[in-house]
Amino acid sequence: MRNKIAVGVLGATGVVGQNYLRLLANHPWFEIKDLAASSRSAGTTYEQAVGERWLMDTSMPEEFKNIPVRDVTDYASIPDDVKLFFSATELGDKQATRDFEFAYASKGYPVVSNSSANRWTEDVPMVIPEINGDHLEILKSQQKNRKFPDSGFVAVKPNCSVQSYLVAIHALREAGYPVKEILVNTLQALSGAGYRGLTSPDMQDTVNPLIPGEEEKTEREPSKILGEMIEGEIALDQFIKISALCTRVPVIDGHTALVYLNFAEKVPSIEKIKEIWSTFSAEPQAMQLPSAPQPPILVMEADDRPQVKLDVDNGKGMAVTIGRLEKDKFFDIRFVALSHNTVRGAAGGAILTAELLVGKGYIRS
């Protein structure tokens, strides 16, 4: 791409927003031109707004330190050259967040959002690029229904807990081995709870057996992601049944999933499953999108892998790493899967979605 696309980050001061800056600092397609946050931060430089709350392992990129922070609701001050927004903003309630995202779209801006507010809005695609890039077709209906300019729309990414195993389930289905039942236990990192999760003593050195709302998201969202486009609408997948138990564990980054599943019909051998996962490739890999992991699924043979410390950054944090694939006494198979929750599960997943939108012509430079 000869000319980079100017982008903005909404909610730039939080943990996900900081990850956007880290990942976009040297991006070949996108260049940050606008940083926005709450009214408390508006009018300061980004470095002043973040203060001591920069939580990335790497230093704050120099090119962002002196960018003035805009109030996210100050639409009049958006720089003229910005063509795309990444949103890590959650307002007071779901409806306020929905209205906020659609306000940007109504002004002609594509919005790729991490928020859960619009995940169940019928004309908003919830995308994992390796699974359901075809769902982006519904953006045409969204623009028509809501009278948006042909450049404006909202697309969202799913919950971070889904990322660690659903690509693997999709790969099996694509290979002719559909799954009918899944039991999944997720061990979710502190960074998934944002700034409080990383800094509160109450969150350290313990396992919290409840993450409010997380199990519902983990059980429901795959039905939309795995659904089909039928006559211009997303028809939910009603076939797979999922039961989830989600916990918070004292690791910084990395959601681990303990997955047990039953196949609908024939059960592939363990070696066949490994072959399917190891050779799986999808549209982002075929298009050679900058953030697409090559390969998207890594299968580990060692019986003590994957481990967060060793494997969370595989594929620059974008790959799903799987190990402990075995037959089970009650289910057909079981395995352990790991993904980086603030990269693949948040900022990185949204960036890959935006790259797919560019590659398919929905976003133009």
Distance, in Å, from the CA atom of 255 to the CA atom of 168, rounded to the nearest integer, reads 15
R_g of the chain computed on alpha carbons:
20
Tell me, yes or no, if 246 is annotated catalytic.
no
DSSP string, 167-215: HHHHHHHHTT--EEEEEEEEEE-GGGGHHHHHH-GGGSSS-BS--TTHH
Q: Are 171 and 277 in contact (CB under 8 A)?
A: yes
Sign of CA dihedral 191, 195, 196, 199: positive
Return the DSSP state at 302.
S
Instruction: Report yes or no: 20 and 85 within 8 Å, Cβ to Cβ.
Output: no
Give the neighbor-by-neighbor strand order of the sheet with 241-248: 241-248, 179-188, 255-263, 333-339, 320-327, 297-299
Give the residue among 109, 129, 89 at the shortest CA–CA distance from 6.
109
Which residue blocks in the chain are alpha helix, DSSP H? 15-24, 46-50, 62-65, 94-106, 129-132, 138-146, 160-163, 166-174, 194-199, 214-225, 270-279, 283-286, 308-311, 348-359
Given 27, 135, 255, 340, the catalytic residue: 255
- Distance, in Å, from the CA atom of 57 to the CA atom of 42, rounded to the nearest integer, reads 25
Q: CB–CB of 191/19 below 8 Å?
A: no
Residues 186, 190, 194, 196: is their CA dihedral positive or negative? positive
Active site residue 160: yes
Catalytic residue among 160, 170, 246, 340: 160
Q: Which residues are catalytic?
A: 160, 255
